[in-house]
Amino acid sequence: MAWPYRVGMSDATPSSENPGFDDMARDIAEVPAVEVIVTVAVNLMSAAAVKLGLTEEGEQHKDLDEARKLVQALAGLLDASATEISTFHASPLRDGLKSLQLAFREASLVPDEPGQGPGEKYTGPVYG
């Protein structure tokens, strides 16, 4: 049975309202799982960097509560997919995660205790 819904940021709607859904599903079917995982990880990393104020706009988009959620999700994804993606893909993603964790620690007015920062339940304590 084909998946009959398009999942968006706020709801799921039947594919009949989105005529390109079948084409999109066919395109997704051709993408290896590793590429999907890496793409999601990179999107989480990019969003976390924005919420940490690490972009040109800096403080304008800084939101540490949102950044914490994104870093936590990234760490969980990398932990869960560690055996599914190669070291070739995992190493730079882990390096990026550590950089975000350190940036979060530096940006926090009251830093978390070692091991209590975002994602550290998956990675262990991160020290600067």
Backbone angles phi, psi at 82, to 5 degrees: -55, -40
Strand partners, 82: none
Please tell me the pTM assigned to this model. Answer: 0.80
Q: How many CB atoms lie within 10 A of CB 40?
A: 14
- pLDDT of 17-74, one tens digit each? 666 777 777 788 889 999 999 999 999 999 999 999 999 988 899 999 999 999 999 9
Tell me what pLDDT residue 16 has.
53
Tell me how far apart the alpha carbons of residues 105 and 122 are, in angstroms, rounded to a whole number. 16
